[in-house]
Structure 1
Amino acid sequence: MTKKALITGITGMVGSHLTDYLLENTDWDVHGMCRWRSPLDNVNHLLDRVNRKDRVFFHDGDLCDAISLIHVIDEVRPDYVFHLAAQSYPKTSFDSPIQTYDTNILGTHRLLEAVRMCKECEPVIHVCASSEVFGRVPKEFLPINEECKFHPASPYAISKAGTDLVGRYFAEAHNMTVMTTRMFTHTGPRRGDVFAESTFAKQIAMIEAEMIPPVVKTGNLDSLRTWSDVRDAVRAYFLLVTKNPVPGEYYNIGGTFSCSVGDMLKHLVSISSCGDSITVETEQARLRALDADLQVPDTTKFREHTGWEPTISFEQTMQDLLDFWRKQVRNNNFLTR
């Protein structure tokens, strides 16, 4: 019988790339949960298959509505669950902390409770937390391993600490096969423009198209990040649920190339056709009240368990991200913000 994967947040960057990976590398059917109002830009290339019911199926569901989650689980009865849906914007969480906590912490609890209540399935479940749970890590604790204490620096990070703990609770209390991940910075095509590298690439594409002056507006450029590609990330998630899954385990996942946000911006500018004319300007509205400024992972545990290694270079990721925004600008498929 064909296996079924349920992806919450299928319309997001990671969810859409994970769908692409599963369609290409497995014979599974892919069921995606999304809100009825979710934008479909990232999954436009899948809509024909959805309409033809060709291995891709969409289901209306909302992490803030327990009944909708029960209906989705009962209808799909998945073999695998990739819980990616979240309020995923750290900066937004400062303005909307309660909604962030409700969606990410209670939403995860509601989803796992819906799975627990369904007697017709016992899926392998991936709960996606975030490296942001580690927050403000002293230099002497770099690289960050799984046992580093949590010191979240935003309501989003607090919510992901809760997400992480809820996932482990269900594994331990209810004998469910739940594993959590703390993915460090990952990016690439379809990355939302609320994230630093994506808004930089978007602004550069607009500068190249002569839509805005040659000035890139920035927030904090000093944060140190380890960069990985979203396409490497989704391959890691597939291995997580298929390579001897261990209930209750938790893993750091991330790339191998580290540099500051400022150096990342310099690289994007260097590959722009307008690089010589671009200047940089800090904008107060783009700064967070607190920032997780040292995000360098130790991924030994996950790599030794699964054999996963990142394969896409930082340079390729940034080139693909910039090319993605060039296409969006060329097709006028974006908002100026």
Structure 2
Amino acid sequence: MSRLFVTGRSGFVGQHLEAALLVLPTADWQLIESARFDLLDPASLDAALAETCPDAVIHLAGQTFVPEAFRDPQRTFEVNLLGTLNLLQALKRRGFSGTFLYVSSGDVYGRVDESDMPIAEHLMVKPRNPYAVSKVSAELLCQQWAYTESWRVMIARPFNHIGSGQNESFLVADMARQLVRIKRGLQAPVLHVGDVDVTRDFLDVRDVVAAYLLLLEKGQRGEVYNLCSGVERRVSELIMDMAHLAGVTVTFKQNPGKFRRAEQRRVVGCSEKIQKQTGWKPHAEFSETLLSVLSDWEVREAH
């Protein structure tokens, strides 16, 4: 069984990855248990890798919240770029020579003309916020290591992914929390929203995790892969679908504090590359995904 080291294991995607490895009958990966570590502390990374050298790494950890990146761009760059460099160097000191999957973001494409949709990997990146710039920078760093080391380095660019366990600072989780509170009479039937007249390409986090594991097995060295559904969904319609599933009637109230600077109006991606090279495709029914998010918040709000 191959040894897998995952950063960000306690986060939203990391928890789903760990759950998937427990139930997948074909999972050939054993998660490396390690003490808590700090990407900005090389000594703690060395300690985390001291007992076992991994065969593969999935680097999930990072500062992922765009408004926070505008608020504190320096910290975002420290965690996402310097933290990635520290991890790469710690792995080299440990004698690592396996597969390294860097998890970037579909946000790196930035402003995309409608003529360039659906968005494919060959499109030039035009990051429009500090978070996306930090991700592009870390991508380039990882690609440099792919050229100069014998490692099999790959980059994944997941688009918006949702599911149970996501922080309420993200849109779908925030809407689900509000809908549950409305259903319980804890909030007036008014959803506080940002700009909902935009479209996004949403993917179930369980499909994202499945893609990561397939990339470890079948992805090609030095390549970049989009992870997306290929379906464009208007945010306002998604929210109303959630309200219907929750059994409540709501209206919207726009909150200027929820608007993002440098917002892309439309997003829809192309995942033909990963589908052709690994056989991956999204399986989750979107209504089931939304129900899983609502059910998760039913539990959370009960405590």
**Given the two structures, how large is their TM-score scaled by the length of structure 1?**
0.86
Indicate if the aligned counterparts of 1:136 and 1:294 stay in contact, CA closer than 8 A.
Answer: no
Instruction: State which of 203, 225, 228 in structure 1 corresponds to 2:178.
Output: 203
Pick from 154, 158, 176: which aligns with 1:183? 158
Gaps of 5+ in 2: none
Q: Say yes or no: does 1:326 pair with 2:295.
A: no
Structure 1 residues 42-71: Cα deviation after superposition (integer angstroms, max 9, x where no partner): xxxxxxxxxxxxxxx342111111221122
Matches within 5 A, 1:252-263: 252-263=226-237
Residues 168/265 of structure 1: CA separation in 2 closer, same or farther (3 Å cut): same
Matched residue, 1:95: 71
Q: Is the 2:34–2:49 Cα contact (8 Å) retained in structure 1?
A: no
2:301 matches 1:302: no
Correspondence list, 1:150-229, <5 A: 150-229=125-204
Amino acid at match of 1:268: M
Partner of 1:251: 225
**In the TM superposition, what is the alpha-carbon distance from 1:225 to its structure 2 partner?**
0.8
Shift of 1:252: 0.7
Q: Does 1:122 align with 2:97?
A: yes
What's the CA shift for 1:212?
A: 1.6
1:240 aligned partner: 215
2:7 maps to which residue?
8
| Cα RMSD (Å) | 1.3
- C-alpha displacement at 1:93, in angstroms? 0.8
**2:32 pairs with 1:60:** no
Mapped contact 1:257–1:314 kept (Cα < 8 A) = no
Tell me which residue corresponds to 2:89. 113
- Contact kept, 8 Å, 2:107 with 2:132, in 1: the verdict is yes
Give distance in 1, aligned partners of 2:91 and 2:77: 20
The structural deviation recorded for 1:73 is 2.4
SS at match of 1:217: strand
Residue identity over aligned pairs, in percent, reads 31
**Which residue does 2:285 correspond to in 1?**
313
C-alpha contact (below 8 Å) 1:6/1:76 kept by paired residues: no
C-alpha displacement at 1:76, in angstroms? 2.8
Q: Deviations over 1:93-147 (max 9, x none)?
A: 110110001100111111111112222x322111000000001111111011111
Q: Secondary structure at the match of 2:226?
A: strand
- Residues 118 and 58 of structure 1: CA distance in aligned 2, closer, same or farther (over 3 Å): closer
Partner of 1:49: none
CA contact (8 A) 2:97 2:150 kept: no
Identify the range of structure 1 (297-306 vs 19-28) with the bigger mean alpha-carbon deviation. Answer: 19-28
1:257 is paired with a residue whose SS is coil
2:21 alignment partner in structure 1:
22
- Specify the code of the residue in structure 1 equivalent to 2:191: V
Deviations 1:303-329 (A, max 9, x none): 100000100011111111111111111
Distance in 1 of aligned mates of 2:187 and 2:3: 46
TM-score (norm 2): 0.96
Letter matched to residue 29 of structure 1: Q
Q: Helix, strand or coil: the match of 2:154?
A: strand
57-66 vs 280-289, which deviates more?
57-66
Amino acid at match of 1:173: T
Q: Hey, what does 2:113 align to over in structure 1?
A: 138
Which residue of structure 2 lines up, in the alignment, with residue 38 of structure 1?
A: none
**How many angstroms does 1:72 deviate by?**
1.7
* 2:76/2:134 contact within 8 Å kept: yes
Partner of 1:286: 258
Unaligned residue ranges in structure 1 (runs of 5+): 32-56, 333-337
Code of the aligned partner of 1:251: Y
Q: In structure 1, give the amino acid aligned to 2:29.
A: W
Secondary structure, aligned partner of 1:281:
strand
1:274 equivalent to 2:253? Answer no
Query: Aligned in 2, Cα 1:66/1:293: closer, same or farther, shift over 3 Å?
Result: farther
